[in-house]
Structures are given as C-alpha cells and as structure tokens.
Structure 1
Amino acid sequence: MSRRPVLMLSRTPLARILLFFSATLLGAFLAFTLSRLIGLHSERAALARGSHRLLDQGNLLGMEIRQSLDHLTQNPPPACSDSDIAFMRDLVFSSLHIRDVGRMHEGRLLCAAGVGRLAQPVDPGAPSFTVRGAQVWPAANLMASPASHGFMIEQGGVFVVLNPETLTEVLDPAPHHATGFLYDQPTGRMVRVSGEPVPLSVAEIAASRFLVRDHVFYQPLCTPTSTICTVVYERCREYEARTRSRVVLRTLGGAILGALFALSVITLDIRCRSMESQLRRAIRHGCLTLVYQPIVDLATEVVTGAEALVRWVDEDGEEIGPEVFIALAESKGFVTGITRLVMHRVVEELSDLLAQGRLRISLNITAQDLQNPSLLEELNLCMDTAQIHHSLIGLELTERSTADHGLSSGAIARLKQAGYYLYIDDFGTGYSSLAYLHQLSADAIKIDRTFTHLVGAQADGSRSVTSSVVLQILEMARLLELQVVVEGIETPEQSEYFRRTLPGIAGQGWLYSKPLTAPELRKLLQETSSRKSTGKLF
C-alpha cells in the first residue's frame, strides 16, 4: 500500500498564534503589494489613454487650423475689406475652437475678425517657434481683449488664434493633468502651447516612455507623423488619495484570506493532533482490529493464505482508513508499534491454523520496520513461542520501501535468513527490475490492482499495451521462479485471464471474498477444505 507523509505543526499554542498572525500579515502584505501593482498598471493604462486622446484632439485642431488658413488664403475679396472681415467673422462663429482670425503683412497685423481693420498695423513681436513654415506665438495678446491671450499661428499672410487650453479640455476631470507641445522633429525644438510646465527634457518627451519624477507619474506621447506631443501626468499624492480606499479594502481582504487559511491549517493540525493521540492510545490499549483478505489458488480456487489488514475506529466511532492512520504513524515514527500489534494479534487469532501449516498469513512491513533490528528479534520470539514455522509468515514490502537498496538489503537478508516468506507488494508501481528482484531474493511478487483492473477487458486474449506489460511481468516472475499473487480480482474474466496465462498463479479480491474477521476466515477454510489437495503448505 502507498503511504503519504502527514505534515504537523508545533504542539504549542504559541506556534499556532504565530501562524495565525503570520498568515494574516502575509495575506495582507501580498494583497497590498498586488493591489499596488494592479493600481500602478491601471494608472499607466489610464495615462496612456489620456495621452492618445490628447494627441487625437491635437490632430483634429491641426486640421481645423489648416482648413481655416486655406479658406483665408483662397478668399477672393480684397484683404481687410468689409466683405473679407465679414467672411472672417463667419469663419470664427462657425468654428468650435478658433477665437480670432486675421491678416498680416511684413510681420504686422492688419485686420482681424474681432476688431476689424486696424488704424495702424500692429507688431505682435517675434514668433517663439517656427514649424513646417508656420510661425507660432504661444501666448499672443488678443486684440479684441488685450487682457487675454491666445495661441497664434501665421502662415502665408493669415493668422489663426486658438484658446490655449483647448488641447487639454478633452481629458477626464482631475486628478489627471496635461501639457501640450509643438515639436519640430528635424530641428529637435519643442515649445509648450498649453498646460503647466513639466520637468522633462525634449528627449524624454519624444521617447514616449512612462516615467516617475519628483513624485509624479508622467506619460509623454509623440508620433513621427504629428507636430504635436502631449504629456499626461498625475501627482503621486493625488493617486494615493484616489486609490487609498481600494488598497485598504484589498489589503483587508488579503488579511482575512490569510487568517482563514491559518485557521484551516490550525484546525487540520488540531484534528491531526487529536488523531495522533487517539492512535497512540489505540495502539497502547490494543484497540486496532484485523481482517484477513483470503488468497486463493486460481486453478483450484482453494484458500492458501491471507493478507492481514489492520483497521481502526477512532474514539468518535469514525472508521479511519489505513492510508490515513498508517501514513500518520509513519510520519511520526511510531508505525512499528502497529506492526508489533498486528504480529501478536495474528498469532493470538490464528496460531493453531498456522502451527498446523494450513495457510500462510502475510503482514505489511514498512521501511521503518526494516531499519528496526529489534523487530526481527521480537518476530522470531513470537513465532517460536507459538511454534509457527517462519515460512508460514509472509512479509510484504512495497517497492518504494526497498528503493534505498543500501539500507534495505541487509535487513531483507536477515529476514530471508530467518526463513520468512518475502513478497514485493504493489509490483509494477515502483522501482523493481529483473536484476533488482534477484538481488532482493524475493519469494513472490504481488501485481498491483491497477494492472488487474486494466487487463480485465483483455480476457479474450487480445494484445493491448497493458496486457503486454503484464505478460512481461509474469515472464520475469517465471524466469526468477517467483510465486505471483494478483491483487484486486473482481470479475471471472480477470481470474480466467491470469489462470490461463501462468500456471500456479494465486490471487485475491472481492470475486473470492471480502476481508474477513478471524472467525469468518476459519469458516471459509472449513468450507473449502474438501477441495484442498494437500493438508499442509510446509
């Protein structure tokens, strides 16, 4: 049978308290960290969306400016005439973002839609920037409202004035902020046209990479086809204030999950602690019971032996599976106590049948049992006192328990020298090979029920991959002159398959009998004794 280790915590309440608080803090820390990472990722995505929206808006403004300049350039009325001024005013009124338009000559303003013809040409000052043949004044005074400023562009003798904040009005409400730039890529010059100044270089803005500086998140964006660049940003303190409630809730949720995990582990540990204590008491007071799975000769269906299986009902009346309590005992180092109890209980219940040589009883031995030299001495004394020949006691070792050949070979050799019958249990699921079996000097192998269940459908003789593997195992056993016991036989087809494949093969399973108590086994032996060809196995 396979056995799994059981993890146990320290026995002290302090360890459980430490586990609870550690798991709670760890859950809170992981949730906090994950929340911050998710929040930062979301923030970067939001800033990137804002930058693209801003850039799209800038490109739309550029198209509107170009169309306005083209209309003014192509207008047939004489420059600054009444019809020209009326045309310019219609253009301003129909535009969403243009504040004023007008005409210039030799760098001086002649007329504008807002004020009409100027009595004297006005010098707007030197332009701050020139890009693609257009001159730019980022903060020109509006003639219709000298206290106001606008973003002015001149090309071909006509100019257009825009609201400088038009570019950034498309952003979502605070806390996101934005700054717009005109960028002349051939010269590398850049001028701010809207928004507040940002402490980024031209190269950093042109690179369009997210960065953090002076506790501010920045997402610049420039494209090769546009003269507009944008920077959308948010101050860290604003971001922290905006996301604090979400981070707190997620951190609290992580702490709760950590606490629940710790409580589940502690509950499981307490249950295992209680199980361990109960199991130790059961061993000490002999409260474990045995049942016996009959082993039959498949050719005659006569019972030739049985495997002793240990059972336990805990103090709450719950039946605990051997895969659970054997694993627990093995992990805590007291499984040999169970082996000793089984050994003495077998002699107590079936000593007369064993002394008469009427059957062989097999016991399961663990790796810890092999490493305990006193167990062999106790086993010898127990059998000799009851006058039971050692060959009538089979010792079942799993392949995994013999995997460390250096540790197991000496113990196995001593068992063989003492005359005990040696089985390799669950054969085919572990590490055995032809040479390895020969070195172990095993007397028999027990084919694992996994193979039995799979070959049941192949009783018609067809050669599946599974049946080929089974045939190889049986051929290996034949070459080494090993007895074969097939586990888990449940159908007549399975029995017929193995009976036909290898003479002298034995089996066990529910087809022949469920595990029986000692009185039930005696009754079964009486019922089948008339078919037995000989009265003794030894």
Structure 2
Amino acid sequence: MIKRMSLISAYIALGCAATVLPVLFSIYIANEDVTRREQRDLRQYAEKAVMRTELVTYQGFAAIADLQAEHGAPCSPEYLGRAAHVIFNYRYVRDAGAYGDGRYLCSPLFGDVRAQDVALPPPRWRSNDGYLVWFQQKNPLSDVREDIQIGRNGEYVSIDPQSYVDVMDPAGRPIATINTDLNSIVALSTGADPDEMLHAWKRAGRVDSDEWNYAVARSTTRALGVVVKGRRTSLLRDWPGLLAMWLSMGVALGAGFGWFAFKRISRQVSFQATLEWVIARKAIDVVYQPIVRLASNECVGVEALARLNLNGRDISPDIFIAVAEQTGLIQPLTDLVLEKTLDELTELLCSRPSFYVSVNVSSEDLRTPRFLKIITAKLARTGIRPAQIRIEATERSFLNADATRQTIAAFRSAGHPVYIDDFGTGYSSLAYLQTFMIDVLKIDKSFVDTIAQQAASSIVAPHIIDMAHELGVEIVAEGIERNEQVEYLLRRGVQYGQGWLFAKAMRREELVAWLEARRASHAPAQPAIQ
C-alpha cells in the first residue's frame, strides 16, 4: 500500500511537473518576447522623435532665411512687419527679430528696444555652419518663459522647447532632446527627470532598471539626439506566486492551461511550416495596384503585391511577410512574386513598352546580386525591357550601406529603376539619401493622410517633397483617397500617386479589363471611393 501511494505520488508529481513547467517556460518565453518587442518599439519611437527634432530645427533655419530674404533697415516698420509675417507663417516660431553687440534690438513681441539696452547673454553653442543657439533663454518680457533661441548674422528666432518633444504617443512616454556636442539637455517632456534622462543618454540607454526601458537615437545631420523611456513589462516579477498558484490548482487545471499554451505555441510555430508549404506549392496570389501620373490621370504602371488566403481567411501581408523575413522564407517568396508577375503580365508589358511593374525586394536581396541574376535570366527572350521591372525597397533595407549601395548600383546599371518605399516610417534620418543613387521616392500613406489637416505630422510630407526635389528624384504618393490630396500634391510638384481614389489592388484579369475600359473611354478613371 505504501509502495502504491508512493507510485501515485510520483505520478502526481510528474503530472504537475509535466503541466506546470511547460506553462512556466511558456511564461518565460513570452516575457522575453515582450521585452524584445518593447525595446524595438522604443527604438522606433526614438527614431520618430529624432525626426521631430530635425523638422523643428529645419523650420527655425527656414524662418531665419525668410527673415533675411528681404527687409528694410533693422528695426524699421518694414522690418518688424516682415518679422511678424515670419512668426505667423512658422508654426513653432514664437518670436523673431534682430540682435547685436550682446543685446536685443527689436522684435514684434517687445518692439524697438535699442534705447533700453536689453542684454542678450553669449550663446551656449555654435554650429559648424554658423548658427548660434541659446538654451533655456529667458524672454525679456517674462521671468517664467524660457525659449530655445537660434540666431545667425544678427537675426534670431525663438522656439518653444516643447516643440522638440511634442511627438504623438498615446502612452505618453518621456522624451529628452540632447545637444550631442555639449551632452546637455535641450528640451524635456513634461514629467521627465532631467538628471535621469541625461544619465541614460550618457550610457547610450544601457541603464539597469526593473521598471523602465531606455532607448537613444542620434540625428545624422545635426548635433541633436534624443533619449526616451518606456515602462518595462515583466511577467516573471511574481514567479513564486505563479508557481504556488499552479501547484495548488493541481494536475487537471494545469493540464488545461498547459494544453492551451501548447496549442497556442504550436499554432505560432506551425505558421512557418504552413507558409513554407504555401510558397512551395505557389499558392501565393499576386495583385496589382495602379500607379497614376497625377497631371494626366494616366496609369503608367502597377505595384505587384503578395496576398495569402488560408482556409477562406485573408492573412495580412504585415503578418506573413514579417514571418517570411524572420524565418528565411522572404527570398523564395520574392522569387515567387516575380515569377507569377512575369507569367501574368508579360503580354501586357510587351504590348505597352512604357508600362512597368514594381516588385518589392527585401533587405536580404539588396546585399547580394542574387535577385538581379534571377531577373536577368527570366527577362531573357521575353521582349520585356529592364526598365519595365522596377525595384522597391523599404528604408530599413539601407542599414548595411556599403553592400546595399553596390547592389543598388548594379540594379540601376542593368536598367532597373530603384524606389524607396514607405519613406519616413523607418530610420527617419534623411541624410543617407545623399549617399545612394535612387530614382523614385514613395511617400508613406500615413503622411499623405495628414495633407490639408492640422496634425503635427502634416509638415512631414512637404519636407519630404522638398528634399526629393533637391535630390532630383521623382515622387510617388501612396494611399491617396481624396481629391484635395491630389490637388495639393500637384501644386507641390509630385508626379505620381496610387491609392483607392484611383483603384484598389486587382488581379490580372481585373487589371486588364480596367486598363481597356480606360483606353476605350478616353476618359479619366472613376475613383474607387468618393
């Protein structure tokens, strides 16, 4: 009897271990995954904050240039009128005027003060290109208000420091903007501790904390950086309590939760095998979204997009493409999209030599000539011109700059134009564009959505457009849904657009019928939405 009880106890212990340990292990894995996701999200948030600092600084420089463009004598009525115009036109500028010999001279805010000798202390920092910056500069009319003041050649503008940290974030995570030359704080979001944020900056975000994660990012164009922090989530903080709970609930309940955890993990793990099976059997569908010349409403090409349907349920491309990138399946997926595109559109492309199709390429295929060799082989004897097959790559594909630059040059030498897709959503620094030879820049839908609105991010689209014009590359605006967006983009010199206003993504048969209907009618296409 004692031996039997011991055996039963052993089975109970093994049953508890078999159910509790996998659950605890699952909790540990989930905790590690949560930590990775939080760090990745925080780094992306820091990159967006850097872009904000660049844009606000850019606006300050533009305001000074506008102030210096043409005006009467310093502090004349014409000059003050011009300064008032600058303040009104630039969202983040709170004051603008003249200074000299260590004192304020005049501004629309406090008038002509040359006779009052209002002192202006020496600037805290001077940039390599001659801009002077005062941090926490007290306004002569207030003992409370402190501005960031930027000056050059006797003209200055004052900017609200909160403009540098006013990044849209539902979680309200703290931000600090840093001058990287001085390692000092430029601006701080409400509630952030300056000593803590500066300490995190100096340690490059590597701060031991059970409660907070930190991330830093630097501007590549200005001596600016940001440090952000977000609350840390931990599933293992109360692991003794978790263990006691599972042991007390027993084998039956533990088995139920263990089965649920097993099924959940199995479903996640098995998706890789399912995707591999789908690609091997060429069960990925390809649809085509038209790209339209805005000035003439002519469809000049299409973008090939992968679609996946499993058991009657559409799987979001954000999901299966991310899994393909993480599991090494992205290259066979890209090859399949190219193969299906050529099978379906060869006749159309040959009949319209100026028509093209763009194919999205992963970062893996921007580091080696593998995909270029595949395209070259498949185009042989088809009659399709290389310029009719165009390459689209996202910003994050450009991180390995040296290898990427060489591969992009090879694509372009072979006659394939290169696009940057979803611009503005990745590694927000804009300077790297000058080091790459590209043909087209695509503005992400999130920025096109803000056109003609008062959102803080509405200044990003015109900033990107201006930079594209300066670099001499063409522009495609994604996600166009309203006629006023088209009117705005045309005024700003944007050449092409795509979105539901023109047509949704279509299968090959629908695309051919759509194009034929446009050709037959000799009339602009009817918008897909109103």
TM-score, normalised with respect to structure 1: 0.50
Q: Do the aligned partners of residues 364 and 255 (structure 1) sit closer, same or farther apart at CA in structure 2, a change above 3 Å counting?
A: farther
Q: Is the 8 A contact 2:26 2:261 kept in 1?
A: no
RMSD: 3.3
Q: Which residue of 1 aligns with 2:284?
A: 288
Q: Do the aligned partners of residues 251 and 410 (structure 1) sit closer, same or farther apart at CA in structure 2, a change above 3 Å counting?
A: same
CA distance in 1, matches of 2:245, 2:457: 56
CA distance in 1, matches of 2:356, 2:26: 56
CA distance in 2, matches of 1:312, 1:28: 31
Q: Which residue of 1 aligns with 2:459?
A: 468
CA distance in 2, matches of 1:247, 1:467: 51
CA distance in 1, matches of 2:464, 2:26: 51
CA distance in 1, matches of 2:271, 2:395: 28
Secondary structure of 1:343's counterpart equals helix
Q: Do the aligned partners of residues 489 and 258 (structure 1) sit closer, same or farther apart at CA in structure 2, a change above 3 Å counting?
A: farther
Q: Do the aligned partners of residues 253 and 403 (structure 1) sit closer, same or farther apart at CA in structure 2, a change above 3 Å counting?
A: farther
Secondary structure of 1:305's counterpart equals strand
Q: Do the aligned partners of residues 332 and 527 (structure 1) sit closer, same or farther apart at CA in structure 2, a change above 3 Å counting?
A: same
Deviation larger for 398-407 or 273-282: 273-282
Q: Note the C-alpha offset of 1:432.
A: 5.5
Q: Is the 8 A contact 2:367 2:400 kept in 1?
A: no
Q: Which residue of 2 aligns with 1:329?
A: 324
Amino acid in structure 2 at the alignment position of 1:408:
T
Secondary structure of 1:295's counterpart equals strand
Q: Do the aligned partners of residues 400 and 264 (structure 1) sit closer, same or farther apart at CA in structure 2, a change above 3 Å counting?
A: farther
Counterparts of 1:230-379 in structure 2, within 5 Å, are 252=248, 263-314=259-310, 316-355=311-350, 356-379=352-375
Amino acid in structure 2 at the alignment position of 1:469:
V
Q: Do the aligned partners of residues 27 and 286 (structure 1) sit closer, same or farther apart at CA in structure 2, a change above 3 Å counting?
A: closer
Q: Note the C-alpha offset of 1:369.
A: 2.1
Q: Which residue of 1 aligns with 2:416?
A: 420
1:517 aligns with 2:507: yes
Q: Which residue of 1 aligns with 2:484?
A: 493
Q: Is the 8 A contact 1:27 1:256 kept in 2?
A: no
Q: Note the C-alpha offset of 1:492.
A: 1.2
Q: Do the aligned partners of residues 287 and 475 (structure 1) sit closer, same or farther apart at CA in structure 2, a change above 3 Å counting?
A: same
CA distance in 2, matches of 1:339, 1:264: 35
Q: Do the aligned partners of residues 438 and 282 (structure 1) sit closer, same or farther apart at CA in structure 2, a change above 3 Å counting?
A: same
CA distance in 1, matches of 2:443, 2:473: 12
CA distance in 1, matches of 2:409, 2:287: 29
Q: Note the C-alpha offset of 1:28.
A: 11
Q: Which residue of 1 aligns with 2:21?
A: 22
Secondary structure of 1:512's counterpart equals coil
Q: Which residue of 2 aligns with 1:193?
A: none
Q: Do the aligned partners of residues 250 and 278 (structure 1) sit closer, same or farther apart at CA in structure 2, a change above 3 Å counting?
A: closer
CA distance in 1, matches of 2:266, 2:243: 34
Q: Is the 8 A contact 2:445 2:480 kept in 1?
A: yes
Q: Which residue of 1 aligns with 2:469?
A: 478
Q: Which residue of 1 aligns with 2:52?
A: none
Q: Note the C-alpha offset of 1:498.
A: 0.9
Q: Is the 8 A contact 2:420 2:442 kept in 1?
A: yes
- Give structure 1 regions of 4+ aligned residues with deviation exceeding 6 angstroms: 26-29, 254-261
Number of equivalences: 295
Q: Is the 8 A contact 2:23 2:261 kept in 1?
A: no
Q: Is the 8 A contact 1:449 1:487 kept in 2?
A: yes
CA distance in 2, matches of 1:341, 1:247: 48
Of residues 465, 474, 495, the one that matches 1:505 is: 495
Amino acid in structure 1 at the alignment position of 2:305:
L
- Show structure 2 runs of 5+ residues with no match: 1-15, 29-241, 525-530
What do residues 455-497 of structure 1 show as CA deviations (whole Å, max 9, x unaligned)?
1436xxxxx6434322111111111111100111111121221
Q: Note the C-alpha offset of 1:528.
A: 2.7
Q: Do the aligned partners of residues 319 and 467 (structure 1) sit closer, same or farther apart at CA in structure 2, a change above 3 Å counting?
A: closer
CA distance in 1, matches of 2:367, 2:254: 41
CA distance in 2, matches of 1:470, 1:22: 52
Q: Note the C-alpha offset of 1:347.
A: 0.9
1:444 aligns with 2:413: no
Q: Is the 8 A contact 1:25 1:258 kept in 2?
A: no
Amino acid in structure 1 at the alignment position of 2:403:
L
CA distance in 2, matches of 1:512, 1:489: 8
CA distance in 1, matches of 2:297, 2:17: 60
- Show structure 1 runs of 5+ residues with no match: 1-16, 30-245, 459-463, 534-538
CA distance in 1, matches of 2:433, 2:275: 35
What do residues 369-414 of structure 1 show as CA deviations (whole Å, max 9, x unaligned)?
2234322211111122312111111111000111221332222222
CA distance in 2, matches of 1:28, 1:366: 32
Q: Do the aligned partners of residues 444 and 24 (structure 1) sit closer, same or farther apart at CA in structure 2, a change above 3 Å counting?
A: closer
CA distance in 1, matches of 2:27, 2:398: 46
Q: Is the 8 A contact 1:423 1:442 kept in 2?
A: yes
| Structure label with greater radius of gyration | 1
Q: Which residue of 1 aligns with 2:518?
A: 528
Q: Note the C-alpha offset of 1:272.
A: 2.9
Secondary structure of 2:304's counterpart equals strand
Q: Note the C-alpha offset of 1:270.
A: 1.7
Q: Do the aligned partners of residues 472 and 252 (structure 1) sit closer, same or farther apart at CA in structure 2, a change above 3 Å counting?
A: same
What do residues 326-361 of structure 1 show as CA deviations (whole Å, max 9, x unaligned)?
111111102111111111111111112222314111
Amino acid in structure 2 at the alignment position of 1:505:
Q
CA distance in 1, matches of 2:251, 2:341: 53
Q: Which residue of 2 aligns with 1:166?
A: none
Q: Is the 8 A contact 1:26 1:255 kept in 2?
A: no
Q: Is the 8 A contact 1:26 1:258 kept in 2?
A: no
Deviation larger for 517-526 or 433-442: 433-442
CA distance in 1, matches of 2:458, 2:254: 50
Q: Do the aligned partners of residues 341 and 496 (structure 1) sit closer, same or farther apart at CA in structure 2, a change above 3 Å counting?
A: same
Q: Is the 8 A contact 2:442 2:478 kept in 1?
A: yes
1:453 aligns with 2:442: no
CA distance in 2, matches of 1:272, 1:28: 15
CA distance in 1, matches of 2:26, 2:446: 42
Q: Do the aligned partners of residues 301 and 406 (structure 1) sit closer, same or farther apart at CA in structure 2, a change above 3 Å counting?
A: same
Secondary structure of 1:454's counterpart equals coil
What do residues 130-180 of structure 1 show as CA deviations (whole Å, max 9, x unaligned)?
xxxxxxxxxxxxxxxxxxxxxxxxxxxxxxxxxxxxxxxxxxxxxxxxxxx
Q: Do the aligned partners of residues 379 and 468 (structure 1) sit closer, same or farther apart at CA in structure 2, a change above 3 Å counting?
A: same
Q: Is the 8 A contact 1:23 1:261 kept in 2?
A: no
Q: Do the aligned partners of residues 445 and 27 (structure 1) sit closer, same or farther apart at CA in structure 2, a change above 3 Å counting?
A: closer
